[in-house]
Amino acid sequence: MNGAQAMVKCLELEGVEMVFGYPGVAICPFYDSILDSDIRTILIRTEQNAAHAASGLARVTGKVGVCAVTSGPGATNLITGIATAFADSIPLVCITGQVNSELIGSDVFQEADITGAAESFVKYSYLVKNAEEIPRIFREAFYIANTGRKGPVLIDVPIDVQNTAIKKFSYPETVNLRTYKPTVKGHAVQIRKVMEQLQKAKRPVICAGGGVLLSDAQQMLRRFAHQYQVPVVTTMMGIGAMQTEDELYFGMVGNNGSPCANRAMNDADMIIMVGARVADRAVNQPEIITKDKVLVHMDVDPAEIGKNAGPTIPLVGDAKHIFENLMEIEISCDHGLWVQTLYEYSKTMQEKRRPNPDYIDPAAFIRKLSDRMQRDAIYVADVGQNQIWSCRNCIVRDGKFLTSGGMGTMGYSIPAAMGAKLGLPSRQVVAVCGDGSFQMSMMELATMRQHQVPVKIIVIANRYLGMVREYQNNTYKGRYSVVDLSGSPDLSLIAQAYGMRFLRLEKREDEDEMIGAFLQGDDSVLMECVIDPMDVVK
């Protein structure tokens, strides 16, 4: 057995079913060995999307997503994907080929210091110097990626290490790292304090972030909220933690969030932040959530607690465990009146959109579309105006809502949707992007075709980089700079070129019928939804 065979063996032992990637000389031994394995390989069309596809798969299956690319430009192309996963704490193992270890540092062909370059975007990285270390390193990498605060781990393997024979392959059963012992269980004293405060609170609110989904704590959150009648709002990454139609759910917070959710946060006397970073887009004035309020901050990463807002009760641990522990303490409380107040707000504080009646209203369209999707469908939003319309209007039931929240990486939706569909083939998967983000990833239509991945794609087309245009309109008095997307291709021809069904929606009266046609069957379909070029999110 050589190093490359050992790498593949490790992936098999970790239960990896699929590797996304792009070969090159430095990773060829690995791609040669994988031919002898049942692991499926997906040839992506640019390396960045390998990480996004692995991220989509990881987010719907809860498993670690794996990608493997070559050295030099292959590895550097991957960085945006790694950084995107890092910002949203998505577990990935990213394997890069590296030049011969004796040549490292001499600037040979396709050499890049990828462990150095990616350092600030990875949870951890390895440069493998000895093939004998491969089993231990892979075992650790998968453990690190998918425990504690999850995130991407990079393994850089020089080609000579992949080709070196190893004496004995033994896969470690356990991982024992003296530097890494994530705190999963919450501190009992703190847990009791939370429940004491909840009993006293008149107007408590739970603000759920992506951490709830990452620890698969949605059911626990819902049970907890209903048991004590605590209203719930989410961050962008937390969308789907509650079902949209749950009577205790009041929408997304933040400067692009729902007015009612923000009002709930402002009026609350107790905020329970769970699995959320208190990032600027969600809470742009952290002093508001700490002043005159009890702030409970629960997170698996102690460094997030107190980073942006000083909590009254810090609580380190995994969301699922914490909710279980909280439920063990019985209290009696009644927040019915507060919930009633929020109902009133939600009725009166609707966002005021004035859509142009001559065009499709993207907000209403997304509501209708998501309402008619299968109950457990996966909705992947891209970045831009389409993301904001999606966040505010997408109805999530038993499925998932995926988007690049922290990094805001355009072009995320198509590869991530593809990864999601490959991870859960029985689910309906819909990617919604703008015409800018579509063109950043449309090369992956070939990947979808080659590997028969039936993803349904909607392009909300306004022939502008709409989010930036809107910003320039508000901030630079309408001086539009480099946001005009004329020259974009005819999408019907693109669909034809890639063998996809195509629909173009332009008139409101066609909406219902077109949505029906779009969602019908389990095939790849591209739908262009033409909107007013001047439409705005605010």
Partner 1 sequence: MKKIYSVLVENRSGVLCKVAGLFSRRAFNINSLVVGETDDPTVSCMTIVSSGDDHTLEQIEKQLNKKLDVIKVKTFDEVSSVSRELMLVKVKYNRSNRRDIMEIAQVLQAQIVDMSRTQMMIQLCDVPERAELFLKMLQSVSIVEVARTGTVALSKCHDQEN
With respect to partner 1, which residue has the nearer C-beta, 115 or 413?
115
Whether residue 515 contacts residue 503, with contact meaning beta carbons closer than 8 Å, is answered with no
Give yes or no for residue 115 binding partner 1 (CB under 8 A): yes
Task: Decide whether 301 or 528 has the Cβ nearer to partner 1.
Answer: 301
Q: Residue 367: is it exposed, middle or buried by C-beta count within 10 angstroms (0-12/13-18/19+)?
A: middle
Coil, helix or strand for 247? Answer: coil
Half-sphere exposure of 398 (CA within 13 A, CB side): 5
Report H helices in 181-242.
188-200, 210-214, 218-228
> Six-digit token pair at 216?
């698969």
DSSP assignments along 370-438, one per residue: HHHS-TT-EEEE-SSHHHHHHHHH---SSSEEE---SS--TT-HHHHHHHHHHHSTTS-EEEEEEHHHH
CB closer to partner 1, 73 vs 314: 314
- Under the binding rule (CB under 8 A), the answer on residue 102 touching partner 1 is no
Max CA distance (Å), the chain = 72
Residue 124, interface with partner 1 (CB under 8 A)? yes
Q: Which of residues 424-483 bind partner 1 (CB under 8 A)?
A: none
- Shortest separation between residue 306's beta carbon and partner 1, angstroms: 7
Stretch that binds partner 1, among 177-185, 208-216, 346-354, 451-459 (CB under 8 A): 177-185
The 3-state secondary structure of 76-105, one letter per residue: HHHHHHHHHHHHCCCCEEEEEEECCHHHCC
**How many residues touch partner 1 (CB under 8 A)?**
17
- Single residue of 116, 425, 489, 499 touching partner 1 by CB under 8 A: 116
Helix (H) or strand (E) run with residue 50 in it: helix 47-61
x-marked contacts with partner 1 along 133-162 as a string, rule CB under 8 A: -----------x------------------
Secondary structure string (H, E, C) spanning 143-193: HHHCCCCCCEEEEEEEHHHHHCECCCCCCCCCCCCCCCCCCCCCCHHHHHH
Among 108, 109, 119, 497, binds partner 1 (CB under 8 A): 119
497 belongs to the binding site for partner 1 (CB under 8 A) = no
Does residue number 280 form part of the binding site for partner 1 (CB under 8 A)? no
Binding of residue 172 to partner 1 (CB under 8 A): no
Segment lying near partner 1 (by CB under 8 A), choices 39-47, 277-285, 302-310, 324-332: 302-310
Classified as helix, coil or strand, 230 is: coil
Phi and psi at residue 431, to the nearest 5°: -105, 135
Contact range with partner 1 by CB under 8 A, out of 262-270, 295-303, 329-337, 405-413? 295-303
Given a contact cutoff of 8 angstroms between Cβ atoms, the answer to whether 175 and 140 are in contact is: yes
Closer residue to partner 1, CB minimum distance, 181 or 507: 181
CA distances to 220, 336, 341, 435, 530 from 527, in Å: 37, 44, 40, 11, 9
Please identify, among the stretches 13-21, 176-184, 515-523, 530-538, the one whose residues bind partner 1 according to the rule CB under 8 A.
176-184
Asked if residue 178 binds partner 1 (CB under 8 A), the reply is yes
Q: Which of 88, 301, 444, 511 binds partner 1 (CB under 8 A)?
A: 301
- Type of residue at 519: L
Decide if residue 123 touches partner 1 (CB under 8 A): yes
Nearer to partner 1, 306 or 516 (CB): 306
Q: Which of 15, 35, 106, 120 binds partner 1 (CB under 8 A)?
A: 120
| CB 305, min distance to partner 1, A | 8
**Closer residue to partner 1, CB minimum distance, 68 or 141:** 141
CB-based contacts of 120, cutoff 8 Å, min separation 6: none
- Selected from 188, 303, 493, 534, the binder of partner 1 by CB under 8 A is 303
By CB under 8 A, which span of 50-58, 120-128, 426-434, 464-472 interacts with partner 1? 120-128
Work out how close the CB of 137 gets to partner 1 at its nearest, in angstroms, rounded to a whole number: 12
Signed CA dihedral, 134, 136, 141, 146: sign only: positive
CB closer to partner 1, 119 vs 513: 119
Tokens (6 digits) for 211: 């951490």
Please give the Cα distance from 396 to 120 (Å, whole number): 33
Q: Does 354 bind partner 1 (CB under 8 A)?
A: no
Our CB check for partner 1 shows the closer of 145 and 514 to be: 145
Pick 88 or 528: Cβ nearer partner 1: 88
- By the criterion CB under 8 A, which residues form the site for partner 1? 115-116, 119-120, 123-124, 127, 144, 177-180, 301-303, 306-307
